[in-house]
A and B are shown apart, each in its own frame.
Chain A
Amino acid sequence: MTVLQTKDLSKNYGQVTALSGLNLSVQQGDVLGILGPNGSGKTTTLSIVLNAIWASSGSYQWFGNQPSSQSLKRVGALLESPIFFPNLTAIQNLDIIGHIRGVKDRNYDDILYMVDLYDRRNHKFSSYSLGMKQRLAIASVMLGSPEVMIFDEPTNGLDPKGIVDIRNILVGLAQSGKTIILASHILDEVEKICTQLAILNQGKLLAHGHISDILVAKPILELSAANNDLLLDWIQRLPGYRRHLRIGERFQVFFDKVDQGLDINEHAHRAGHSLTHFQWIQPKLEDAYLKIIENGRV
Chain B
Amino acid sequence: MNSLKLIKLEWLKYRHNKAIWLSLLGFVIVLLIIMLAYAQMDVKMSSGPQGGLIDLKKNISFPEIWEFTGYIGGNWIGFFIVGFLGTYLMATEIAQKTARQQIISGLSRGQYLLSKLLFFRNIATILTIFYVVVVLFIGFTKSYDSVGEGIWLTMGWMALRFFVMTMLYIFLGGLFGLLFKKTIMAFLFYLFYGIFLEPVIRWYIHPNFAPESWNRFYPMNAAEDLMPSPGQRISQFDELLQDGSLYLTANQALITSIVYLIIIFTLMYGLMQRKNV
A-to-B contact residues, CB < 8 Å:
47, 50-54, 68-70, 72-73, 75-77, 79, 83-88, 92, 95-97, 99-102, 140
Contact of B106 among A54, A73, A92, A95 (CB under 8 A): A73
- Interface positions, chain B 104-125, Cβ under 8 Å from A, are 104-109, 111
> In the assembly, what is the distance between CA of A92 and CA of B12, in Å?
7
- Interface check B46, CB cutoff 8 A: no
Given A52-B276, A52-B277, A70-B106: A99 touches B100 (CB 8 Å cut-off): no
Q: A99 to B9, Cβ gap below 8 A?
A: yes
Q: A69 to B108, Cβ gap below 8 A?
A: yes
Given A96-B13, A99-B9: A84 touches B107 (CB 8 Å cut-off): no
B90 to chain A, nearest CB (A): 15
- Interface check B98, CB cutoff 8 A: yes
B33-47 CB mask vs A (1 if < 8 Å, else 0) is 000000000000000
> In the assembly, what is the distance between CA of A97 and CA of B98, in Å?
11
Contacts of B101 in A (CB 8 A): 79, 83-84, 97
> In the assembly, what is the distance between CA of A102 and CA of B6, in Å?
12
- Interface check B233, CB cutoff 8 A: no
Given A77-B105, A85-B98: A96 touches B17 (CB 8 Å cut-off): no
Contact of B105 among A53, A86, A92, A97 (CB under 8 A): A97
**A-B contact number at CB 8 A:** 74
Contacts of A72 in B (CB 8 A): 103-106
Contacts of A85 in B (CB 8 A): 13, 98
B73-112 CB mask vs A (1 if < 8 Å, else 0) is 0000000000000000000000011101111111111010
Q: B16 to A88, Cβ gap below 8 A?
A: yes
> In the assembly, what is the distance between CA of A158 and CA of B109, in Å?
32
Contacts of B102 in A (CB 8 A): 96, 100
> In the assembly, what is the distance between CA of A132 and CA of B262, in Å?
43
> In the assembly, what is the distance between CA of A47 and CA of B106, in Å?
13
Q: B12 to A69, Cβ gap below 8 A?
A: no
Contacts of A75 in B (CB 8 A): 104, 106
Q: A52 to B104, Cβ gap below 8 A?
A: yes
> In the assembly, what is the distance between CA of A68 and CA of B103, in Å?
10
Q: A96 to B9, Cβ gap below 8 A?
A: yes
B1-38 CB mask vs A (1 if < 8 Å, else 0) is 10001001100110011100000000000000000000
B173 to chain A, nearest CB (A): 20
Contacts of A50 in B (CB 8 A): 103-104
A232 to chain B, nearest CB (A): 47
Contacts of B9 in A (CB 8 A): 96, 99-100
> In the assembly, what is the distance between CA of A92 and CA of B97, in Å?
17
Contact of B100 among A70, A79, A88, A97 (CB under 8 A): A79
- Interface positions, chain B 243-277, Cβ under 8 Å from A, are 274, 276-277
Q: A83 to B98, Cβ gap below 8 A?
A: yes
Contact of B8 among A87, A99, A140 (CB under 8 A): A99
> In the assembly, what is the distance between CA of A53 and CA of B274, in Å?
9
Given A70-B106, A77-B105, A99-B8: A52 touches B100 (CB 8 Å cut-off): yes
Pick from B8, B100, B102 the residue with the most CB of A within 10 Å: B100
Contacts of A102 in B (CB 8 A): 106
Contacts of B107 in A (CB 8 A): 69, 100
27 contacts between A and B (CB under 8 A): A50-B103, A52-B100, A54-B274, A54-B276, A69-B107, A69-B108, A69-B111, A72-B105, A72-B106, A73-B105, A73-B106, A75-B106, A76-B105, A77-B104, A83-B96, A83-B100, A84-B101, A85-B13, A86-B96, A87-B16, A88-B16, A92-B16, A95-B12, A97-B105, A99-B5, A99-B8, A99-B9
Given contacts A101-B105, A140-B105, 7 further A-B contacts (CB under 8 A): A50-B103, A51-B103, A52-B104, A72-B105, A79-B100, A86-B96, A100-B9
> In the assembly, what is the distance between CA of A99 and CA of B100, in Å?
16
Contacts of B111 in A (CB 8 A): 69
